A and B are shown apart, each in its own frame.
Chain A
Amino acid sequence: MSMCCVRQARCLRFPIVGLRSQAILASVLGVFLGGCGESIDPNEPQGFIQAKGSDTMVNAVQMVAEVFMKDYPHVFVAVTGGGSGVGIASLINKTCDVATASREMKAKEIEIANQHGVYPREFTVAYDGVAVIVNKNNPVNRLTIDDLHKIFTGEATNWKQFGGKDLHIVTLSREVSSGTHMYFKEEVIHLGKKDNKDEFSKETLLLTSSQAIVEEAAGNEEAIGYLGMGYLSDRTKALQIARDKEFYPPTVENVLKKTYPLSRGLYAYTDGEPEGIVKTFIDFTLSPAGQKQFTDAGFVPVQTSPPEVTPQSSPGGTVAR
C-alpha cells in the first residue's frame, strides 16, 4: 500500500540509493535527531500524533499537518493513507490517534470498537463530492445515477449506450479498504437502499490509490472511475451527474448546496473526547487556517459561521459542460 498517497511515495527513494548513500543518510539523520535535544518549555505542547486513514483526505490532512507543525514546532504529526477502513481499523487496534474517514463509521464497526474499549468521537472536518471521471477523449459528458449503477454493476458494457464511442467500458474502483468505495457502493451500486444486494461488476479493476485511478483514466479511453473531488485535475474529465433529471458538475458550490448527488462528509475520529495535543490538532483542523487547507486541496470547508456566498471552484478541477 505504500503508493497509496503522494506523500508516502517519497519513501520510494530510499531503496534505490546505494549502500554508501544510505550510510550518509543514516549519519545525517543521526545528526538531525541528535540536534533535537534542546530544552523545551514544559508548557509548550509537544509529542507525536499519528493520523491515519482516508486516501481521499490524505493530501489535505498532510497540508493541515504541515501548517500545524509550523505553529507547534514540538508536535510531530504523521499522516498516512491506506483507506478509511485502514484508519478505522487502526483506531480500533489503537495504532493511531486520529482516524480520518471519507465515510461514517458503520454501526457494526462502532460495536466492535466498543468491544475493544474504544469509544469513537466523530468530527466532520469537510465536505466532498465523489466525482466520476473519464478519459478526456470520451465524448460522454453526463450520466445519471441509474446509468452509473448499470455501468458499475456490469449491466451496461459499451459506451455506445450512453452516446459515446463503440468501446467496451472499463470500470475502475478503489480497493475495499476505501471509504469512497463504501460510499459509492451504498449510493450507486445499492442505489441507497439497505436491502439491495447488488455488487460491483466482477470485471471492475480494484486499484490501490486514487492516484492510480487518475493515471488509468488519463491513459485509457475506455475507463470510468470515481474519486474524491480533491483528485480532480485537467488530465481527466469529470462527468455531470443527475439523480433525476438535472445534471450538476462536482463543484464546491454544488456540494455546498447539496445539489450534486454524490455529496458526502469527510470525518475525523478520535478515541473518546480528544485531549492534549490531539485536541489542539482537531481544533486547528476546524479553525479557519485548517479549513483553508481543505479548500486549497479542492474540498468544501465545514461552515461553522453562516455560509459564505463566494464559493470558489475547485483548483484545477475541470468540469465538463
Chain B
Amino acid sequence: MPAETNESTVRAYVKPQALELGFYASMKRLWRRISEPIIELCIRLSGLVVVIFVFLIFLFLLRDSLSLFRHYPLGQFLFGRKWLPISEPPQFGVIPLLLGSVLVTFWALVICVPLGVGSAMFIAEVAPKALKNVLKSFIEILAAIPSVVLGFLGIIWLGPVLRDTFHLSTGMCGLTGSLLLAFMALPTIISISEDALTGVPRSYREAAFGLGATQWQTLWRVILPSASSGIVAAVMLGIGRVVGETMVVLMVTGNAPVIPTSILQPVRTLTATIAGEMGETVGGSEHYYALFAVGLVLFAITFTVNFIADLFLRRARR
C-alpha cells in the first residue's frame, strides 16, 4: 500500500522538524522546572510532618501528664514507693514500676548483648558465605515473631521451666520476661552490629594480617574496637526495644508492683502498667492522667536511649 507508506514517511519526515522538537523539549523543560520544586516540597513536607508529629505527641503527653500534678504532688509521683491506683486515696508512686522496667531491661541486656555481638562477629567474619545467608534470613524471621506469641510461650512453657529449675514459688517473674525480651532484642542487635563489623575497611584487616596477627587477634583487637561505636548504637537500640516492649512483660512478669530486689521476683513494668490499666480509666480522671505521666517517664527513657544511640551511630559513620 504505497499511499500509506507515503503518508507515514511524510509524517516521519515532519516529526523531527526543529520547530516541533523544540516545542516538546521546552514543554519538558517547563514541566521539569515546575515538577522538581513540587517534588522537593513534598519530600520536605513529609520530613517536617514526622518532626511535627513527634513534637505533637510529646506536647500531648506533657499536657495530660502535667494535669496529674495539679491534683497530685510531683515529688510523690517521682519518689513514691507505692502504686495503688484504685485505693482511697490513690497512690501513684512510679518507683516500683521504674525499677521493674530497669531490672528487666538490665538482665535482658546481660543475656542478649554477649550473645548478639558474638553472633554478629561470627556472621560477619567467620561464617562461610552460604551459612551466612542462611543465618541472616533466620534472624530476620526471629524479628518477625509477634510478641504475644512469645508471651504465650512464656506462660505455658518458659515460666514453669524456670520455676522448676530455680525452685521458685512462681514462674511469673522478672527473669521470664528478661529472657523473652532478650530474644526479641537479638535481631536488632545482631543486624546492626553485623553492619558495623562489615563496615570496617578492608585495609585494617590486611594490615593486621600483614603484621602476623591471627584471625582471632584481628577480630578481637582490631575489628571489634573499630566497630565499637556501631555496636554501642546497636545495644542502645536494643535497649529501646526492650524498655518499650509491652505485651510480653504484661503476660509473663506477674505484674506485682513491688520494689524488686531480685530478678527472680515478680515485677511490674512501666509499659505493662499503662497497657493493663488504660482500659478502665475514664478520660479526665486522676488515674488516667497518672498513666500519661508514666508514659512521659517512658518516653523520656526511650528518647534518651535513642539519642545516645544516634550520637554513636553518627560517630560510627565518620
Contacts and interface: CB of A to CB of B under 8 A. Distances in A.
Interface of A: 1-3, 12, 15-16, 82-83, 85-86, 88-90, 92-93, 109, 112, 116, 167-168, 170, 175-177, 182, 197, 199, 202-208, 212, 215-216, 219-220, 222-223
B155 interface: yes
B281 A12 contact: no
Given A89-B282, A220-B163, A205 B255 contact: yes
B87 interface: yes
B251 A3 contact: yes
Interface of B: 84-88, 146, 148-149, 151-152, 155-156, 160, 163, 169-172, 247, 250-251, 254-258, 266, 268, 275-277, 279-283, 285
Nearest to A15: B146
Given A1-B275, A206-B276, A93 B282 contact: yes
Contacts of A88: 280, 282
A2 B151 CA distance: 11
B280 A215 contact: no
B163 A206 contact: no
A206 to B, nearest CB: 4
B148 A206 contact: no
Given A208-B250, A215-B156, 12 more contacts: A2-B148, A82-B279, A88-B282, A92-B283, A109-B282, A112-B282, A176-B277, A177-B277, A177-B280, A205-B254, A205-B255, A208-B276
Contacts, number: 103
Task: Give the top 6 A-B pairs by smallest Cβ distance, nearest first.
Answer: A85-B280, A177-B280, A86-B279, A15-B146, A205-B254, A206-B255
Contacts of A176: 85-86, 276-277, 280
A100 B163 CA distance: 36
Contacts of B283: 92-93
B256 A203 contact: yes
B276 A3 contact: no
A206 B251 contact: no
Contacts of A86: 279-280
Contact of B277 (A93, A175, A182, A207): A175
Contacts of A205: 170, 172, 254-256, 266
B250 A89 contact: no
Contact of B276 (A1, A15, A216, A220): A1
B279 A177 contact: yes
Nearest to A182: B86
B230 to A, nearest CB: 31
Contact of A89 (B257, B275, B281): B281
B279 A170 contact: no
Contacts of B275: 1
Contacts of B279: 1, 82-83, 85-86, 89-90, 177
27 contacts: A2-B148, A86-B279, A86-B280, A88-B280, A89-B280, A89-B282, A92-B283, A109-B282, A112-B285, A175-B255, A175-B276, A175-B277, A176-B86, A177-B277, A182-B86, A197-B88, A202-B257, A203-B258, A203-B266, A204-B256, A206-B256, A206-B257, A206-B268, A208-B250, A219-B171, A220-B163, A222-B169
Q: Which of B85, B169, B254 has the most A CB atoms < 10 Å from its CB? A: B169
Contacts of A207: 172, 254-255
A215 B155 contact: yes
Contacts of B282: 88-89, 92-93, 109, 112, 116
A93 B284 CA distance: 10
Contacts of A168: 169
